[in-house]
Amino acid sequence: MAERDSFTPPPFEPGTVWLVGAGPGEPGLLTLLALHALKSADAVVYDALVDPRTLDLARPEAQRIHAGKRGGKPSPSQPDISDRLVRLAREGKRVLRLKGGDPFVFGRGGEEALALVAAGVPFRVVPGISAGIGGLAYAGIPVTHRDSNSAVTFVTGHDSGGEVPDGLDWPALARGSPVLVFYMALKHLAQIRERLLESGRPASEPTALVSKASTPDQRVLETTLGACVADAAAQAIEQPALLVVGEVVRLRAGLDWLGAAEGRVALDPDPLRVKTQREAG
């Protein structure tokens, strides 16, 4: 007799919206609930960041609607997207709102969910693997490591107007957070670098830019805070990309599992020794 599955997803009811995180790119990083939603939805409303391979998992007859937003741009169409979700749900559809990474991390998922609340449309939230954690893991960079940092801060490089957020307390960030992970950082990279240097982070600090993490086009640039702007331009690093500043970047020498699996690099079992030597000396 076949064993019963230990996991039975909740039914995707007609007339409801599921607000689902698609992870950083690689379809294998979807949750079981995300896959269930893709297999059940009548309409899929997706962002530019959602990988085409993930979208291919939707039912062939599902309506596919590109919400057409690019990360970080001011989005006059946000109310339109929310209205669209409400309308589709009121038509009795199973509406999958699919967003890159996690819907509640720099993704306006909260705004969309509140619009559903206001309209009285029932919804469910399915978290996803955020690029700032899972994308960095694909680059071989853990966001925390006991020998390096016991705190990490996630920061957006854009505010809702598309500028470097003014409300940020840069000196406090620079002093208080050993590792800083910036989303949407490419456009304002020069300003971010400037503010961190002014606030006391050393120009020599290990820094990486991770572009298109977990996709076949993933690229990782290891550099320093001082050199990151020039290096990113020279290497033509493209969106979407994350900026990570902190000692954890050194761990990549030991943890670039993808590079090792592809035979490109040999892993160093003691990647933090440079730091230890420096502190000792």
**Residues acting as catalytic residues:** 47, 69, 184
Burial class (CB within 10 angstroms; exposed 0-12, middle 13-18, buried 19+) of 149: middle
| Contact call for residue 242 and ligand SAH (CB under 6 A) | yes
| Contact call for residue 30 and ligand SAH (CB under 6 A) | no
Closest CA to 245 of 145, 135, 153: 153
Measured in whole angstroms, the distance separating CA 212 from the mean position of its chain's CA atoms is 10
β-strands 95-99, 17-21 pairing: parallel
Site for ligand SAH (CB under 6 A): which residue of 143, 213, 253, 255?
Answer: 213
Phi then psi dihedrals of residue 67, to 5 deg:
-80, -10
Q: How many residues bind ligand SAH (CB under 6 A)?
A: 27
- Among 30-38, 74-82, 237-245, 255-263, the segment contacting ligand SAH (CB under 6 A): 237-245
- Among 52-60, 211-219, 223-231, 265-273, the segment contacting ligand SAH (CB under 6 A): 211-219
Site for ligand SAH (CB under 6 A): which residue of 45, 88, 98, 105?
Answer: 105
| Residue of closest CB approach to ligand SAH | 101
Q: Which is nearer to ligand SAH, 225 or 241 (CB)?
A: 241
| Contact call for residue 24 and ligand SAH (CB under 6 A) | yes
In the chain, the N- to C-terminal Cα span, in Å, equals: 66
| Contact call for residue 210 and ligand SAH (CB under 6 A) | yes
| Contact call for residue 127 and ligand SAH (CB under 6 A) | no
What is the per-residue DSSP string for 62-79?
SEEEE----TTS--TTHH
Structure tokens at 179: 């590792």
| Contact call for residue 240 and ligand SAH (CB under 6 A) | yes
Site string for ligand SAH, 38-57 (x = CB under 6 A): -----------x--------
**CA of 196: how far to CAs of 16, 133, 193, 205, 269, in Å?**
44, 21, 5, 11, 30
| Contact call for residue 101 and ligand SAH (CB under 6 A) | yes
| Contact call for residue 246 and ligand SAH (CB under 6 A) | no
| Contact call for residue 245 and ligand SAH (CB under 6 A) | no
Rg (CA), the chain: 20
Q: Which is nearer to ligand SAH, 12 or 106 (CB)?
A: 106
Closest CA to 34 of 48, 50, 49: 50
Closest CA to 116 of 140, 95, 100, 144: 95
Give, in degrees to the nearest 5, the angle at Cα 103 between 16 and 246: 170
Closest approach of Cβ 247 to ligand SAH, in Å? 21
Q: Which is nearer to ligand SAH, 191 or 274 (CB)?
A: 191
- Binding residues for ligand SAH (CB under 6 A): 24-25, 49, 71-72, 99-102, 105-107, 130-131, 135, 183-184, 210-215, 239-242
